Structure 1
Amino acid sequence: MDERTPVLVGAGTATQRCDDPAEAVEATELMATALRAAADDAGAGGLLSRVDQIWVPKGTWGYSDPARLVAHSVGAERARSGLADVGILQTAVMGRAAADIAEGRADVVAVVGGEAKYRGLRAAITGGEAPETDQDEAEPDDFVTPHGMIISRAEIDTGLVMATHHYAMIENARRYADAMTLAEHSDAVAGLWARFARTAAANPDAWIRDGLDAATIASPTDGNRMLAWPYTKWHNSQWNVDQAAALLLCSAGTARSLGVPADRWVFPWAAAESNHMVPVTERPAPHRSPGFAHGGQAIAEHVGTATADIDHLDLYSCFPIAVRTQALELGIDPGRDLTVTGGMTWAGGPLNNYVVQSMAKMAAVLRDDPGATGLVTAISGMITKQGLSVWSTEPPPRPFANRDVTEAVAVELVPRPYRTGDGEQATVVSYTVLWGREGPERTVVIGEFADGARTLATSTDTEIMAEATATEFCGRTVTVGADRSFTV
């Protein structure tokens, strides 16, 4: 084996659930705890003092250089600090770490992230405080940020600013494409999420382990209110968590020199990512994701195994349609086990760090099944950017590769033009009804004009909202006004 072969040697997690925020630590301390756990997991001393880089995916917190705080806490003073902004795939961060090791730019790299949003929530509820360390505008040694906007100006102006809104649109477009009735679709989506809930119930690191059934998930109640039709609260990612996770990667030569036991080694075989960004409104087929199709093909060609034949899966699970779309594009049987954690609703989805959490769990799964392969996927935005990585306790059949399929995706995924209407008719491509705490507030449609251009329009008509949630509204013809309203 080449001495520069990258290998994951340690994975750790940290969770706290304190009703009194004064008893809870801030997010960077959770990250440091997870990183120490990863070092302990590696089973070799001296690893943290050898860390060359610490990368942190940006969260909801306000730290300007969180990796530096983590480095100080764990004694990794020589490490360069890195911050990956929201919109950068976590797969890309892991792929960069593996590539830096393989190409000799680093020997040991830590990827760590987390949130303490539950601490903040409890502070708001109790009137307590949840302070964060002030870094006096410190800057990381390395900072990466996405090249474009995940949400378009038109979507922002229409009020489509929450992930729930966009994913509900994608979900409804998929139902129409599959020619499912509303009842069939509701059962399928809730059934999928109930399966994820059962996995989480058996996962000691999961945030919610109640194992809710499909009927409970699908039924709007005071504790499970509708957010954006057809999604209730229990269809949504759970971000109000105090969770962190950390991964330690190093070269095979370094792992040997430090005495990391061979049964701790998990090899990255390949990674693939697409960074082509097209807003949901402008996608030719909103329910499809060419990035996953091309990424899956690139991975399969490199490792010699189709994604559908990989042994263990954790498909990024911010919403049910994210999982359903990936299974469709990757040719994966949707009846298979699609998560090792239980997914972001149940296991917990710390913003911009879930994939580090899922990779920590996947490492444990693969160690318990030596020689098996594992696929971990990532999404940024509204299935806007896509990432995949394959791992195994067996050395890779070929040297690690980080494939970028952005250009191939850009050729296939050409945005539709966008414009507003003025008394023109448009066909509904997809839609959702947005809910407030008092009930439904407005219907939002993605319309397509006769010339193929897309538009967004809204209606606060109560009869339209009732009809849109009782019958299929996709494929309907609406008249779009210059004020972005529509009538039927």
Structure 2
Amino acid sequence: MTSLASGLDPNTPVLVGVGQSSERLDDPDYRRMSAVELAAAAAREALADTGADPATVASVIDTVAGVRQFEISTPGVPAPLGKSDNYPRSVARRVGAEPARAVLEVVGGQSPQHLVNEFAATIARGAAQAVLVFGSEAISTTQALAGAEDRPDFTEQVGGELEDRGWGLEGLMTMHQVSHGLTDAPSQYALFENARRARLGLSREEYATGMGELFAPFTEVAAENPHASAPVRRSAAELVTVTEANRVISDPYPRYVVARDKVNQGAAVLVMSVSTARRLGVPEEKWVFLHGHADLRERDLMERADLSRSPAAVMAARHALEVAGIGVEEVAAFDFYSCFPIAVSNVADGLGLDADDPRGLTLTGGLPFFGGAGNNYSMHAVAETVQRARTAPGTFGLVGANGGSLSKYSVGVYSTTPTEWRSDHSAALQAEIDAWDAPVEARRADGWATVETWTVKYGRGGKRTGVVIGRLEADDRRFIATTRTDDEETLKLLSTGEPVGRRIYVRSFGFGNRVTTDEERMDALFPRREPVLRDDYEFVTVRRDGHLLEVTINRPDQRNSLTPQANDELDEVFDAYFADPELWVAILTGAGDKSFCAGNDLKYSASGKPMWVPKNGFAGLTSRRNMTKPVIAAVNGFAMGGGCEISLACHLTVADETARFALSEVRVGLAAGAGGLVRLPRTVSRKLATELILTGRQVTADEALSLGLVNRVVPAGTAMEGARALAAEIMEGSPTSVRVSLQVMAETEGIPDAVDAVEHPSSALDDLMVSQDAIEGLTAFAQKRRPRWKNR
């Protein structure tokens, strides 16, 4: 009998083995397996599933690729029970494989299907013969045993080559989103979900019913799956009815419709070339072909034109079907990534599928019920799809794998029907996506606005926080903002009726954008601070001497490094300085004789406490506009990192002989983002600035003087005296003239042509000519006496 696959290119990729493993804490034979052990168990099953000798199959595996566990998916997250230093090779070692190549994939639920797509293509071009891909999670065990006296130690040191592709978090989360609490998946997906509800014009009750009806059939599938972590049938009403057990996490999500990450699960898939499968004697009835595939990435969150949809995911699904040469009506089985309802409904909408499609939308039971095995869920979906294809030869199954926040989508179309490898055109589609128009974002949003989408986050103790994405009425820019937890009026607006399209008021602060119902309520919740000096500060001291203000950073035990609270105090002090007409010059220095300022307090930053910087920047200066009164930095000792950036932001710098300057951020894995990257290249030659920025090299006071970084160098311990002398010289002149001079210099700094800059019309010069100080200066000169300046 002639094989249907006899004419295929020998390098054609084919899936020949799949395996799954799992255990629950309440299982009678619970074994406290590590993530490595769970993956290895699944891999052994995949090898056995080929129908060939497992040891022989293991010997030909030349590549292993692992999906990242959650505990190695985020910088700084601990592994309470330990982890392997080379997860892919730990698993390979357990199954007797010695691959030449080991890969650890980037973060994201798209990873399993993406790895299948990638390595199928690798095999097709002859660059590999057999690839084992796998992933696993032991989150349930880790959480249960982390504090146990007899807790297991999952630490492994296996070494060996590893192609670690990194976290791959770029574009998935920004510092700005983090500052507004958008760090958790439920909140981000809830924003999309509520936008979709508003687009469809459904009430809260109608939409909740729809979520329940979508997921109720998933529970039926999970209840029959021996690997499911929550094999319980639930009705549509039960899924969305809020109870103590089914509390709201982030509106509109009660707990039952949210991905369940407390699992112990592993899955593996073996892909090899047709020639290798034949050589090993893998029966053809085991072969499953990848007929269609696609991998696309959505625009970043704030760049999406419509927050109720992810068109890139739909494009990926359609393109995979196009590559396969079939229509959606020809697919016999689907498994759509289902971390939240919209992850399913978004693609189902785009493909014209109903929630009650008789073919079903899951083969595993879905992430809330089967289990959200970290980034690896869709490996289980692939395994189930392969098994289903074998039981119904010639039919097609589709797996849709989602990563990030509807961010990355990988699709595979599977069938036992033999087919040559077909290349996709994802790159061209991705270029199209990347060229889509994007809304303009307002990082600092102020004024009246409308709600574009929203959610309310619920803490276990009843604490609520509203999150809003809105559009400014003035220019339609998009912004993120949050409510205060005690702003019941705004929380009521978000929790009842239809908030989308409602008018709100937003204001920006150093700690982020805040939103409420109107300007009066904003003023009541966030009273405007009067720009006056206080009698006492915690982190700084101030001294007023006539028209001179002396400001000292008073944290000598911490080298005068700055915390958010210290930055706030400096911001307040300089607000008062610039608002007070009787203060003409300010000097900023650091307490003690060791350090002017060591920059950001890194110990505080590493503590996990909230971080923010005032709107006016580090020390209240590095982002401050309209600095029309002189600020002198009196540098005593080290001005490192942010301390150097403060000095660069000041108009003038006096340094004592002990002073050392450096943009040292690169040496602690950071960058000089408080102005150093901008101001240093504008102060010294670009090549020298590049050297100093990239090396973090320290510059002495004398070198700083020669480079123009400082104005004067004075003997050790006399930085303040030198700064006072410079201030006195400035105050000999008209404070009005000084102010106007600084203003015109700032206005013309960005004008490249010198004549254009000279001819730049400035109202400041007009005001100067009719000022009392101008008249007094000319009069005093004529009368041969010292002028008596009024600063007006």
TM-score using structure 2 length:
0.59
1:13 aligns with 20
1:240-276, CA deviations, whole angstroms, 9 ceiling, x for partnerless residues?
1000000001111111111111111110112101134
Say which of 284, 297, 315 aligns to 1:262.
284
Deviation at 1:393, TM superposition (A): 0.6
User: Which among 343, 349, 372 is matched to residue 328 of structure 1?
Assistant: 349
Matched, 1:4 2:17: no
Give 5+ residue unaligned stretches, structure 1. Answer: none
Please state whether the residue corresponding to 2:434 is helix, strand or coil.
helix
Q: Find the counterpart in structure 1 of residue 406 from structure 2.
A: 383
After superposition, the Cα gap between the structure-2 partners of 1:418 and 1:388, relative to the gap in structure 1 and judged at 3 Å, is farther
Which deviates more, 244-253 or 56-65?
A: 56-65
Answering whether residue 452 of structure 2 is matched by residue 421 of structure 1, we say no
Pick closer, same or farther for the CA change 1:191–1:444 going to 2, 3 Å. same
What residue is the counterpart of 1:468 in the other structure?
494
Distance of 1:463 and 1:47 partners within structure 2 = 65
Give 1:51's aligned amino acid.
I
Q: RCO (CA 8 Å, sep 6+): is it higher in 1 or 2?
A: 1
**Counterparts in 2 of 1:57-456, with a 5 A limit?**
57-61=67-71, 62-87=83-108, 89-124=111-146, 126=148, 128-135=150-157, 140-141=162-163, 143=165, 146=168, 148-279=170-301, 281-336=302-357, 337-396=360-419, 398-404=420-426, 405-412=429-436, 414-422=438-446, 424-450=447-473, 451-456=475-480
Determine the C-alpha separation between the residues in 1 that align with 2:329 and 2:463.
40
The change in CA–CA distance for 1:448 and 1:63 in structure 2 (over 3 A counts) is: farther
Contact 2:66–2:133, Cα closer than 8 Å, also in 1: yes
Letter in 1 for 2:48: D
Is the CA contact 2:62–2:98 (under 8 Å) kept in the aligned structure 1?
no
- State the Cα distance separating 1:292 from its structure 2 match: 2.0
Aligned pair 1:47/2:57, yes or no?
yes
Over aligned residues, Cα RMSD in angstroms? 2.0
Query: Given the superposition, is the C-alpha separation of residues 14 and 463 from structure 1 closer, same or farther in structure 2, using an over 3 Å criterion?
Result: same
Contact 2:123 2:130 in 1 (8 A): yes
Contact 1:120–1:130, Cα closer than 8 Å, also in 2: no
Determine if the alignment matches structure 1 residue 30 to structure 2 residue 76. Answer: no
The 8 Å contact of residues 221 and 364 in structure 2, kept in 1 or not, is answered as yes
Residue type at the aligned position of 1:118: S
Q: Secondary structure at the match of 1:58?
A: coil
The aligned amino acid for 2:355 is P
Change (3 A) 1:274 1:129: same
CA–CA separation in structure 2 for the residues paired with 1:139 and 1:78: 10
**Cα distance change of structure 1 residues 413 and 110 upon mapping to structure 2, 3 Å threshold:** farther
What is the letter of the counterpart of residue 300 of structure 2?
V
Deviations 1:366-400 (A, max 9, x none): 1111100011011110001111111101012x523
Match of 2:503 in 1: 477
- The alignment-based identity, stated in percent, is 34
Q: Give the aligned residue type for 1:86.
A: V
Q: What count of residue pairs does the alignment treat as equivalent?
A: 485
Tell me the secondary structure at the aligned position of residue 470 of structure 2: strand
Amino acid at match of 1:58: R
2:515 counterpart residue number:
486
1:299 Cα deviation after fit: 2.0
Q: C-alpha separation between the residues in 2 aligned to 1:12 and 1:326? A: 27
Cα separation, 2, equivalents of 1:138 and 1:319: 38
CA apart distance, 1:23 = 3.5
Taking a change above 3 Å as real, the CA distance of residues 63 and 308 of structure 1, as seen in their structure-2 partners, is farther
- Assess if the C-alpha contact under 8 Å between 1:269 and 1:401 holds in 2: no
2: CA distance between counterparts of 1:129 and 1:22?
14
Per-residue CA deviation, residues 175-212 of structure 1 (Å, 9 max, x unaligned), is 00000011100100112111211111122221111112
Change (3 A) 1:204 1:211: same
Q: Which runs of 5+ in 2 are unaligned?
A: 1-7, 72-82, 518-792
The SS at the match of 2:449 is strand
Alpha-carbon distance in 2 for matches of 1:89, 1:485: 36
Task: Compute the displacement of 1:469 (Å).
Answer: 2.2
> Tell me, what secondary structure is at the counterpart of 2:455?
strand
